[in-house]
Amino acid sequence: MKAYCFKCRKMKEFRNPQKVTLKNGLPATKGVCPSCGTKMSKIG
């Protein structure tokens, strides 16, 4: 799964993806950027 890394300013593949549920009940996936280590997330 890919998400946008705001630090690298590119679409990248997650590292260590985890399924989570946000406070409003929407499903999301959280992970880490493989290049810079910044937290990334994608809703849906």
DSSP states of 20-38: EE-TTS-EEEEEE-TTT--
DSSP code, position 17: E
Under 8 Å between Cβ of 18 and 8 = no
Per-residue model confidence (pLDDT) at position 34: 93
pLDDT digits (tens, 9 = 90+) for 1-18: 899 999 999 999 989 999
Bin 28: left if φ > 0, else alpha if -120 < ψ < 50, else beta.
beta
Sketch the domain layout of the chain as residue ranges.
Answer: 2-43
CA distance 42 to 44: 6
Place of tokens 């499903």: 27
Per-residue model confidence (pLDDT) at position 7: 93
